[in-house]
Amino acid sequence: MDNIKQAWGKVQGGWQALDKSKKTQLVMILIAIVLVVGGLTYITKKVDYSVLFSEMEASDAGLIVDDLEAQGVAYKLEDNGTTILIDSSLVDKYRIELAMNDMVPENSIGFEIFDTSSMMATDEDRNIMYQRAVSGELERAISTLDTVKSAKVILSMPEDSVFVDQENRAEASASVVITPRKADISPAEVQGIASLMAGAVDNLPQENIKIVDNNGNLLSSAIGDESINSATLKNQYRDIEASYEKDMEQKLIETLGPIYGMNNLTVSVSVAMNFDAVEEEAVQYDAYGNGPVVRSESVQANGSNMTTEETGGNDNISNVIVEGEAEDGSSYNRTVNNEIDTTTTHTIKAPGTVTSLSASIVYNGNLNLDQSAQIGEIAQMTIGADQDSIVIQGIPFATDDANEDAPIIGSDFQEELIKAFKNNWPYAAGGIGLIILLTLMMRILKKRRAADDEFDDLYDEVEEEPIQSVVKDDIQAALARKAAQQAAEKEEADLKLQLNKTMSEKENKVKTMAEQNPEMAADLIKIWMKEE
């Protein structure tokens, strides 16, 4: 305890010994460290929750929550406890564990209901269990469809009896409540659900199936409507034609593109198909001209001593009887059946026959007649169309409109970037804020450091000033005295030089005057002498 108090006292003493700028710097550094560590901890420890199960029953949700708490897995509940969320990295693993432990919540019971059937179950019990099993299997099958989120099936199956004729037996009926994944479910999808149920339940016609959605809207009113099937077939046929047109256009582009340039051609193909299934049967008689052939002949004769006479003519004559006179009564009967060669041809034409095919080709530039004919021949052999149904034009392409209508390059990348920013904006904002905070702290520390350096320099100058000022005054005084002495000596020398120069000039002038006027010079000397 004493050691702790001593350590705390040292810390307080060290803190009190620091000046204000040092304390500010230390506090800012500690705040930055706490923010950085806190931000990194939040980012690394943040759990990304994903849906484990949704729209669960309360009992199933309770079992899953108990198991999660037993394993120590963090979870969240939403939608009044019907939706369970856990860490996205554990969703698949935990679902596999539930499947292995047979804990996956199932709202429907299938044929596994017979796995736990009792030996004492009666036929009535087994019939009810069978009806529940079929209903559960249908619910599972319908729920696996992409357009159906969940389904509830109610079956009404009549009792079988040996006293009921198969033709007059009662029919089953079914009611289905589905929750679609999208706003509208197409009539074709409803028809598919009805067909699925009719095939799974014995003696269940489609008109006995009623399908409604979770909002109570009747969806089965279109079951058996031929117009809906016809519309579906028309859409399928149109898709086939569009696919065929696309294939022909691609063939033309691949053939003409390397010659005239991919960007210099615009190709459009139009096709019309006959999707009628045609079945023909043709019968041709005596196709090879062989005439009739005797297939069978019958001859009868009665009595004795009779005479017969053959009748000439065509062999096609049958039941020819010739009677003659004789002593006793007599009769003759001859029957000939002829057969003619017959050829029967049975032809079935598959739907999807191309009835007409046309194409238009536009070249970016001008074309002469030879070039147009050349392109037409190539197109005719490529797609198998008649020459008259191929139109070729050479027209320069417009560039201004194309540039205006051209999509913005990188638009997909921009959309992805915006989407990523929307999903991760808290992290981006935190990172930007942290960078701004660190930048401000660096600037503050830099300014503080510059101020401290300036203060230290000033402090050092103040400490050295008393000693340096004394020495500096003595040196300056000595230098001043020496400079004054040198100035005086220089001034005296200049004065002497000037005086000597003046005297020399006067002497020279007097000498010159004496030489020029000796008499005047003598008189002047006499005057000076008298004055003295």
Task: Report d(CA 516, CA 508) in Å as an integer.
Answer: 12
Token reading at 338: 């002829």
Q: What is the pLDDT of residue 246?
A: 93
pLDDT digits (tens, 9 = 90+) for 273-290: 988 878 888 888 776 777
Average pLDDT over residues 91-111: 78
pLDDT digits (tens, 9 = 90+) for 369-419: 998 999 999 999 999 888 889 999 999 988 755 444 544 444 555 666 676
3-state SS of 53-72 is: ECCCCHHHHHHHHHHHHHHC
Phi, psi of 108 (to 5 degrees): -115, 145
Homologous superfamily (CATH) of 239-276+351-395 is ANL, C-terminal domain (3.30.300.30)
Contact present, 176 and 210 (Cβ < 8 Å): yes
Highest mean pLDDT among 30-34, 68-72, 232-236, 252-256: 252-256
Predicted local confidence at residue 471, as pLDDT:
46
pLDDT in tens, 121-170: 787 888 888 888 888 888 888 888 888 888 888 888 887 766 666 666 67
Model confidence over 514-524: pLDDT tens digits? 777 777 777 77
DSSP letter at 438? H
Instruction: Look at 22-26, 74-78, 83-87 and tell me which has the smallest mean pLDDT.
Output: 22-26
SS3 357: strand
Q: What is the pLDDT of residues 323-341, one digit of tens each?
A: 445 445 567 677 878 777 7
List phi, psi (to 5°) of 88.
-60, -30
Q: Return the CATH number of 111-160+169-226, one of 3.10.180.10, 3.40.50.2300, 3.30.300.30, 3.40.50.620.
A: 3.30.300.30
Torsion of the alpha carbons at 507, 511, 514 and 515, rounded to the nearest 10: -170
pLDDT of 243 above 90? yes
Residue 205: what pLDDT? Answer: 87
Q: What confidence score (pLDDT) does residue 360 get? A: 93
Most confident of 63-77, 118-132, 419-433, 472-486: 63-77
Q: What is the DSSP string of 285-338?
A: ESTT----EEEEEEEEEESSS----PPPS-TT--SB------SS--EEEEEEEE
What is residue 400's predicted lDDT score, i.e. its pLDDT?
A: 58
Q: What is the pLDDT of residue 359?
A: 94
pLDDT per residue over 469-487, tens digit each?
544 566 667 677 777 777 7
| Per-residue CA distances from 340 to 285, 290, 291, 306 (Å) | 7, 8, 7, 35
- pLDDT tens by residue, 247-263: 999 999 999 999 988 88
Average pLDDT of span 7-18? 76
111-160+169-226 and 239-276+351-395 share one fold: yes
Residues 377, 321 contacting (CB under 8 angstroms): no
pLDDT of 115 > 70? The answer is yes
User: What distance in Å separates the CA atoms of residue 523 and residue 507, rounded to the nearest whole number?
Assistant: 17
Banded pLDDT at 525 (limits 50, 70, 90):
confident
d(CA 122, CA 128): 10
Average pLDDT over residues 238-244: 91
Q: Among residues of the chain, what percentage have pLDDT more than 70?
A: 73
Beta bridge partners of 360: 268, 391
- Answer whether 181's CB lies under 8 Å from 148's CB: yes
State residue 425's pLDDT score.
64
Domain ranges of the chain: 49-101, 111-160+169-226, 239-276+351-395, 488-529
pLDDT over 80 (residue 269): yes
Please state, rounded to an integer, the average pLDDT across all residues of the chain. 76
The confidence score (pLDDT) of residue 168 equals 60
Say what the pLDDT of residue 424 is: 66
Q: What share of the chain is helix, strand, coil (3-state, %, to 5)?
A: 55, 20, 25
Average pLDDT, stretch 460-474? 50
Residues pairing with 49 in the sheet: 87
pLDDT confidence band for 422 (50 / 70 / 90):
low
pLDDT of amino acid 165:
61
Considering 180-194, 219-233, 318-332, the range whose residues carry the highest mean pLDDT is 180-194
pLDDT value for 295:
72
**Alpha carbon of residue 382 to chain centroid:** 36
